[in-house]
Structure 1
Amino acid sequence: MVLNTAYVNGHFFTMDESSRQYKSGMMVVSGDAISYIGDHSVQRLAAADRVVDLGGKWVMPGLVNVHSHIVMTILRGIGDDMLLKPWLETKIWPMEARFTPEIASVSTRLGILEMLKSGTTTFSDMFNPNGIDLGGIMQEIADTGIRGAFSHTIFSLGTERQQRDNIASAERFAKQFRTFADGRLTTMVAPHSPYACTPAALEESARVAAENGLMVHIHVSETDLEIRDIESRYGVRPVEHLRRLGVLDQPTVMAHGVVLNEEERAILHQYDVRVAHNPISNLKLGSGVADVAALLEAGVKVGIATDSTASNNNLDMFEEMRTAALLQKGIYKDASKLPAETVLALATRVGAEVIGMGHTGSLEAGKKADFITIDPSDKPHLQPLEQAFSHLLYAASGRDVCDVYVGGAAVVRDGSCLTIDEEKILAEANRLQAELQ
């Protein structure tokens, strides 16, 4: 039997294409989906099996983090103040190679705990298993209640046989978990990058994606050094390199896209390549600032992302989208660039479309009931209430989130996570990171 729950007395920010708001509205959730969103309806209230009085809370779609590395969460604060290449080669990859199943499990749950408590309900991620059972990690993710895509990273490392085994393992994982946890979780094909994968590995990645109806998730055009490296190896820039290998023929999410020219943006639009914008990570690693305004003007879909805590150092999407907005205003010296309405959409509805999950990301009838609440009543930084839409971008933070629902089920209530033992995870994370040092 499907239960109908009516949420009343809330200020609803739909983040639909019209950015509609209902200041004293009502939302009805039937099972795991929204069946009604709009003005208060006495008739719908009478038909509800359960009524939740929100007491004036703000309600918005759960945030969508389109590029993260949750298994790296335990590496927060390690390798600060380094450029990308030495950071990866001397800190991150060597430490990841030392991960045990316990470290990977605890790090994953720590990352999801932070995401959920700060309002992220959907994410897209990749990790190189290094002998760790990713099936177990996928089950850990499922148990938390979050929605998203988790992918097996493809690398061209070691012998040719090791490379073939890596791709075969990634393909098996992609097939097995393409639809998992009643469809709440999926996977993508995730070649790490043009510089960490041979042309053959990239072609194989495109094959796996095509044969299994999966998206490609890949780091591309992150630094000037990467551009020079790929040009020296193959005679073309990374985007053209991927185009020639057939990767862009598949639905593709490009993480970063910091160093792009006008011709490349046109190619991305032509092939419907979506970009995961990681403003804080790109700043911290000294990679630069992606020209999001130019990408949007070229018709490229862009989502907001945190990258990993090792290069951020948090998973707060409110902080991420505020940084994204301010950077574009600053580099253009134009305060009209990336207004609040646009950026909030990139972090919700558009972000969901970027990763192929258009069934979430906005409060609309027929979409999954993934939403969060914020209580502004005792928070001076969220006053005056009349400017609530502005406050969501320019004043709010993940610490303001009260309740989080995924598919109509509460996963955070009054700031406490219901699906993860918070005290246990914090203790285990500190113990295990000390062992890694």
Structure 2
Amino acid sequence: MHILLADAVFTDGTLYRDHGVVFERTVLALKPNSELRSEYGPACTELGEGSVLLPGLVNPHVHLEFSANRASLTYGGFMPWLQSVIANRDDLIGGCGEECVDEATALMLRNGITAFGAVSSYGFDLDACVRAPQKVVYFNELIGSDPAMADALYANFQERLFASQSEAREGFFPSVAIHSPYSVHPVLIRKALDYAKAHRLRVTAHFMESPAEREWLDHNDGDFKPFFENFLRQNRAANTPDAFLECFDGIPTLFTHAVQANDDELARIAAGKHTLIHCPVSNRLLGNGVLDLERLEQLGIRWVCGTDGLSSNYTLDLFEEMKTALFMHPQRDLLDLAYRLWNASTRHAADALGLNCGTISDGYDADLLVARIDYPINDQLPLHLLLRRPTIESVYIEGNKVKG
């Protein structure tokens, strides 16, 4: 049993001053320090001045297979970026072996990320994700819009999915990803989602990330047109947006980006009780626009915060992602947005991934961070933790110290 006494505990949007936590594998109690000293005496660990206990961060969307990227790709627009990914794909994938993926998961751990959703296109990151200390929701990605290749594409997807299912354990959850409405044939989508529903697998998908996607799906035109005609010999989109979203009816899904989604599509996402993953750094680097968080909240859509991968980010750090969002949404009240971002990167993200963590509350897994700050603890702490990020001294996952 661990009894940690801190200057403050911050969880679920509430700041508890002079509080501590009792935990084994799960959290047993969150109480004032005075009560814990009286109850447990010398068994308590006094963390001292400037100590803050935080729930472990949850990154719901990351691509690890392109983690070798440093400055190989072109930023500023989605199509130049996509073309650079295609041109450099073999080098990037070949340059990211198991050590590279191990370093990416270690980077997330150093940055306080105790659970993540890995979207895997090829399965090369499977072994590294299986041995990662974090909780991992492993999304095997289905991609392919050519009907002539449908059987082969689905067989490859099944092979990767079955390989991940053979590794299933507590803390590692094989799951399904549908790449996007423009890149997956509807027959394949229905087959994969039928399997996911039958086996109660978690599901994620990209949706309406770029203006190019919007124009292609609506009008079979725009910047995507030469790409599909030249690379795939297709002159029509594989799906309409409505038909794509309809496939997910009855399957709670994490949709990533949705920057270009219109009101009707957002209303359908709200009606389906789906979740949207906001990746502000990726959206900015690829020139895709800014997600309208106020509109999501008006519709009652839960949104969470993710890093995306190192192909469209410079680090895998939710502190940095949240800070970027503070400046990307200047119309929002600053402190209120900071509180919402913390919920979006902890409890809400964990709940969207179906995980029993993201909060320091009785009965939840003891995934928590021991952080240290050198500034006053007050009601603006959630903001200052992003502006002046703390030192993360220790990381616990299910009560086990995995860092520090």
Shorter-chain TM band: 0.7 to 0.9
143, 147, 166: which one aligns with 1:155? 143
The equivalent of 1:405 in structure 2 is: 396
Secondary structure (helix, strand or coil) at the match of 1:193 reads: coil
State the one-letter code of the partner of 2:363: G
The equivalent of 1:92 in structure 2 is: 85
The equivalent of 1:386 in structure 2 is: 378
Secondary structure (helix, strand or coil) at the match of 2:54 reads: strand
Give the C-alpha shift of residue 142 in structure 1. Answer: 3.7
CA distance in structure 2 between the partners assigned to 1:6 and 1:79 by the alignment? 47
The equivalent of 1:335 in structure 2 is: 333
CA distance in structure 1 between the partners assigned to 2:183 and 2:42 by the alignment? 54
Contact 2:126 2:164 in 1 (8 A): no
Secondary structure (helix, strand or coil) at the match of 1:364 reads: coil
Q: Are the structure 2 counterparts of residues 26 and 385 from structure 1 closer, same or farther at C-alpha, using a change threshold of 3 Å? A: closer
State the one-letter code of the partner of 1:7: L
CA distance in structure 1 between the partners assigned to 2:335 and 2:215 by the alignment? 30
Contact 1:151 1:174 in 2 (8 A): no
The equivalent of 1:424 in structure 2 is: none
The equivalent of 1:138 in structure 2 is: 126
Give the C-alpha shift of residue 92 in structure 1. Answer: 2.5
The equivalent of 1:431 in structure 2 is: none
Superposed CA RMSD: 2.5
Secondary structure (helix, strand or coil) at the match of 2:333 reads: coil
The equivalent of 1:74 in structure 2 is: 68
The equivalent of 2:166 in structure 1 is: 176
Q: Are the structure 2 counterparts of residues 76 and 355 from structure 1 closer, same or farther at C-alpha, using a change threshold of 3 Å? A: farther
Deviations 1:213-241 (A, max 9, x none): 01211111001110121222359752x12
Deviations 1:189-231 (A, max 9, x none): 1121111111111112211211110121111100111012122
The equivalent of 1:37 in structure 2 is: 30
The equivalent of 1:324 in structure 2 is: 325
The equivalent of 1:224 in structure 2 is: 211
Secondary structure (helix, strand or coil) at the match of 2:97 reads: helix
Structure 1 unaligned regions, length at least 5: 378-382, 414-437
Secondary structure (helix, strand or coil) at the match of 2:175 reads: coil
Contact 2:111 2:392 in 1 (8 A): yes
The equivalent of 1:362 in structure 2 is: 359
Structure 2 unaligned regions, length at least 5: 221-235
Contact 1:33 1:368 in 2 (8 A): yes
State the one-letter code of the partner of 2:64: I
Deviations 1:32-52 (A, max 9, x none): 111111212556765589532
The equivalent of 1:127 in structure 2 is: 120
Give the C-alpha shift of residue 394 in structure 1. Answer: 4.0
Contact 2:139 2:203 in 1 (8 A): no
Q: Are the structure 2 counterparts of residues 174 and 200 from structure 1 closer, same or farther at C-alpha, using a change threshold of 3 Å? A: farther
Q: Are the structure 2 counterparts of residues 166 and 55 from structure 1 closer, same or farther at C-alpha, using a change threshold of 3 Å? A: same
CA distance in structure 2 between the partners assigned to 1:287 and 1:113 by the alignment? 29
What is the percent sequence identity of the aligned residues? 22
Contact 1:127 1:152 in 2 (8 A): yes
The equivalent of 1:208 in structure 2 is: 195
Q: Are the structure 2 counterparts of residues 97 and 235 from structure 1 closer, same or farther at C-alpha, using a change threshold of 3 Å? A: closer
1:301 aligns to 2:302 (yes or no)? yes
Secondary structure (helix, strand or coil) at the match of 1:152 reads: strand
State the one-letter code of the partner of 1:403: S
Contact 2:66 2:92 in 1 (8 A): no
CA distance in structure 1 between the partners assigned to 2:128 and 2:150 by the alignment? 32
State the one-letter code of the partner of 1:386: N
CA distance in structure 2 between the partners assigned to 1:164 and 1:33 by the alignment? 39
Give the C-alpha shift of residue 267 in structure 1. Answer: 0.6
13, 18, 43: which one aligns with 1:24? 18
Q: Are the structure 2 counterparts of residues 100 and 307 from structure 1 closer, same or farther at C-alpha, using a change threshold of 3 Å? A: closer
Deviations 1:384-409 (A, max 9, x none): 33355244454133x73222111111
The equivalent of 1:194 in structure 2 is: 181
Equivalenced residue count is 385
CA distance in structure 2 between the partners assigned to 1:320 and 1:249 by the alignment? 31
Matches within 5 A, 1:108-123: 108-123=101-116
CA distance in structure 1 between the partners assigned to 2:321 and 2:64 by the alignment? 16
1:164 aligns to 2:154 (yes or no)? yes
Deviations 1:86-114 (A, max 9, x none): 423x3324544456788331221121111
Contact 1:63 1:348 in 2 (8 A): yes
CA distance in structure 2 between the partners assigned to 1:392 and 1:284 by the alignment? 25
Deviations 1:341-380 (A, max 9, x none): 22211111111112222x1011001001111122113xxx
CA distance in structure 2 between the partners assigned to 1:250 and 1:139 by the alignment? 28
Secondary structure (helix, strand or coil) at the match of 1:65 reads: strand
Secondary structure (helix, strand or coil) at the match of 1:188 reads: strand
Q: Are the structure 2 counterparts of residues 78 and 216 from structure 1 closer, same or farther at C-alpha, using a change threshold of 3 Å? A: same
Deviations 1:161-206 (A, max 9, x none): 42132232244145334x42xx112122112111111111111221
